Structures are given as structure tokens and as C-alpha cells.
Structure 1
Amino acid sequence: MLRSILIFPKLSEITTIQNIRRELDPLYPHIRPHITLVFPFESEATDAVIIQNIQTILKPFSAFNVTFENFSSDEKSYLWLPVDEGYSVIQKMHDVLYQSPLFSPFLRPEFPHTPHITVGQIHNQQAMLSTLKVLNSK
């Protein structure tokens, strides 16, 4: 079964973000806005084992605030809201999870971890630039 480890932040602008996602993100109907800590992976470990590992590894972390910067992109096809406040905490969580033997085999160094919420996919560079300009002007 394909799994991933995600943060579902409480968002004050959830309606705005969801309206953008409804228009631009094909995953909109399947998952609510999130920040990925561990990229999707296949594991035969049970849910209980995975949950126990996550709880143990992340126990030292306490609640924290998250804010976001202007819309940005990976310059290929994904449009996102990069994390501003909370970036270093999320990055540390990502790093310590991948230090676990349960998750370390799934580290994908070809995809640098940049904490963000994906809000869309646009496969045309010009359309991406245009959309970024419109979104960031609002």
C-alpha cells in the first residue's frame, strides 16, 4: 500500500487555498492541503508500526506556527505555497523521520525537500509564470 507522512495544518485562508486548488490541482478532490514530511512510499509495515515510529520519532516536537510566503513553483509543473515560519521545524522533522530504519530506504535525494503546500499543476512554463503573477498580485 502506498503511504506518506503529512502535516495537515490549520489554515486561516483555507477557502482561498481550496478555491485555487479546485481550479489547478488534480489531487484537490482526493486530499486536503498538506505539507509532506516523507514522500510516498511502499512498505509492508503495518499501520500500527508506522504510527508508533512516527509518534516516537516526533515526540520531542511541540506545536508550532506555520506561515507561508508568496506563491512559487518548482519551475517544472508544480505551483505551491512555500513555508516561511516553521520551515526549520518541518525540515528537522523530515530529516529525523528519514533517519529511522523504517523510512530511510525511501529517501529520495533527487527531490530536495522544500516544505510547502502544493496548490496546482501547470505543465506550460508561460502559463505557470502568468498564474504566479496573478496569484501573487492578490
Structure 2
Amino acid sequence: MSLRTIMIFPEFENMDIIDRIRDKYDPLARLVRPHITLVFPFENEMSNEAIKEILIKRLYDVKPFEIVLNGISLQVDKYGNFLLLDVQKGEEDICYIHEVLCKNEFKQFDSDIRYKPHITIGKFQTEKELNNAYNELKNLDESFTTIVNKISVEVIGKNEESIIVIEKML
């Protein structure tokens, strides 16, 4: 069985800014592209074909939509100390996709933490490191805009690398 994740891999014209920040602060920067997680890592017996059929069935009415990310926030929870790039536009669409998947076939994998769409741009060992990075980046006033037109499923490889196994066009 493989650990899989369902996510959006947005592509922005100014992606280099996100990449530079992640290279400095996100240990996964070299392993997985910037992403918005829809269903957090899960392990089950479902085939990739079965997951693709679920995406087709559950997302039949979801059309491509615009997202805008802007603003930095902090999240400290039982999973770690995170620096986030916040979704300003498209949050309703992303939350709808998350809910329709996590209230049905992927319900057992839903987190107990309130879902807030974002791109993780940093993960830190301590809150002090997190606060230092936040203070460095809190005035970043760059907006990142794109159209979301596909949902991806990745397998997390044995070295934590991202291997895309399904791409469902919207």
C-alpha cells in the first residue's frame, strides 16, 4: 500500500517567489511542488482507478476556477509549526472539493483540524524559528493568481518524493 494525497498544483507566473521562500523554509521544497492539499495523506486498499472514478463522480459539477493567494499566516498545531500562503479568492471552490471528498469516500482520513486552504511555504522545528520567518515575510505583498483546471493524486515515494498518478481535468 502506498501513501497518497489529493491536491491542487497551481502554476503561477511568479512561482519563482514561492520557490525561493520554500527553498529556504520548507524541508519538502525539493520533493513536492507548491500545492494546496485537498485530502491529507492517506493509505488504503483503493486502486488508483477507483480513486479516479470517485473524482469523476464527486467532481462532475466542478468547473475550472480562479484562485488568488496573498498574505502570510502562521499555524501551530499537533503536526508542527507552519508558515502559510493564504488563499484570498477561490476558497469556496477549494473547500467544496475538500468537503465533497472528505465527507464521503475519504471521511476516515479527514483531519480534526479546521480545513483552511493554503500553500505551505515553511515548516519549522520551533515556534521561535516560525516567528522569525514570519517577521521576515509578513510584509510580502505579492499576489499569485491562476486558474485551477485539474485535481491531482500523488503517491508519496519512499524518499518522500511526489509521484503524480492521477490528473482529473475539471
The answer to whether structure 1 residue 93 and structure 2 residue 97 are counterparts is yes
Partner of 2:36: 35
**Residue correspondences, number:** 136
Q: TM-score, normalised by structure 1?
A: 0.91
Secondary structure (helix, strand or coil) at the match of 1:48 reads helix
CA root-mean-square deviation: 1.3
Q: Which has the higher contact order (CA 8 A, sep 6+)?
A: 2
Q: CA deviation at 1:127?
A: 2.7
1:112-127 superposed matches below 5 A: 112-127=114-129
Secondary structure (helix, strand or coil) at the match of 2:89 reads coil
What letter matches 1:50 in structure 2? I
Distance (Å, rounded) in 2 between the aligned partners of 1:136 and 1:11:
20
* Among 56, 81, 84, the residue aligned to 1:80: 84
Distance (Å, rounded) in 2 between the aligned partners of 1:24 and 1:11:
19
Partner of 1:21: 22
Higher-strand-fraction structure? 2
Q: TM-score, normalised by structure 2?
A: 0.75
Partner of 2:106: 103
CA offsets 1:65-119 (integer angstroms, 9 cap, x no match): 111131111035111101110011101110001122x3122222x2221100001
Distance (Å, rounded) in 2 between the aligned partners of 1:115 and 1:62:
18
Q: Choose 41-50 or 122-131, whichever is displaced more.
A: 122-131
Distance (Å, rounded) in 2 between the aligned partners of 1:13 and 1:129:
25
Higher-helix-fraction structure? 1
Partner of 2:56: 55
In percent, how many aligned pairs have the same letter? 32
What letter matches 2:119 in structure 1? I
- Give the gaps of 5 or more residues in structure 2: 141-170
Q: CA deviation at 1:124?
A: 2.5
Distance (Å, rounded) in 1 between the aligned partners of 2:134 and 2:31:
24
- Give the gaps of 5 or more residues in structure 1: none
